[in-house]
Amino acid sequence: MTHYTINEVTPEKSDVTFRGIPYADADRTGHWSIWAISLLFQANRAVSMTNSFMHMNILRIKNVGHVITKQILDINPLLYRYTYKTPIKLRFKMEMKEIGNSSIIFSTRLYDEETGLKLGQNVLKFVQINTETRKSLPFPAWFQTSLSHLKMTGKYTSLNRATLSETPENCFRWKVIVRYSDLDKNMHSNQATYLKLFMDCSTKAATSGYYRHFKTDMCWFNVEHVAINYIGESFVDDELEVHTWQDNSDDSKIFFSCCKDKKRITFAEFRYGLERTKLLSSPKL
């Protein structure tokens, strides 16, 4: 993790500044990868939660865990111009927006601290679970009472459960095996693992001639929007089949579905910039 400064943390909001971008976060074209961007948003959540955000210091007890069921990432294309050589201060401002019986919605905005430029936003739904049964677990009464002013209003409809697109018969298919390095502390594939899998799958599909417009390494095209549903879990040595297909009319919109034992465990919509980016002056060696 890069160095960080906690500007403010309360149970309902946090303000944290991270300094610089790690060299390891760049992809093979020298650009900041979408999975590493997602992981830095995750790092911000981790720092905030270990410092009283969401009362996590009290909620985190034996057999209680928290998982993401859906997240949306919107990225300003200018973010991809920053590299590990950029002396940037990345400021994350996170707010708790709504709570339900066992779920909670966060919104995090990312800024260039020096210029005030908004570089991205992450909205997600977080669910409390029993780590043994893997079923949702209601928040304790004191938690719901203290945050009753944030009860669900239905404002964040984009995070609601919805009917997902069916996978077409002519989709592109690609198989992978889950590795130990794909896991997080919950011993299942980390949320960003799927973003990386989808980027790899899209490059395989593009270079195989499957997509319209995109015919080369997809790391050359900025990911500007991601909406991903986490439906199930995957564990080490699981065989996953990743499917991808393109919107019928919008070349920038590409869909992904990840299946285990023929059951969908994640579904995502990516929107890519249509213009190929240029090689940065400081790509990875």
Using one digit for the tens of pLDDT, what is the confidence trace for 122-157?
999 999 999 999 999 999 999 999 999 999 877 887
Average pLDDT of the residues in 52-59: 94
Q: What's the confidence (pLDDT) of residue 282? A: 56
pTM for this one?
Answer: 0.93
Percent of the chain surpassing pLDDT 90: 87
Q: What's the confidence (pLDDT) of residue 157? A: 77
Domains of the chain plus CATH, in order, are: 1-147 (3.10.129.10), 162-278 (3.10.129.10)
Task: Dump pLDDT digits (tens) for 204-237.
Answer: 999 999 999 999 999 999 999 999 999 999 999 9
**Position 2 confidence tier, pLDDT thresholds 50, 70, 90:** low
Q: What's the confidence (pLDDT) of residue 281? A: 56
Instruction: Measure the CA–CA gap between 108 and 180, rounded to whole angstroms.
Output: 29
Instruction: Measure the CA–CA gap between 49 and 44, rounded to whole angstroms.
Output: 9
Residue 166: count of CB within 10 angstroms of its CB: 9
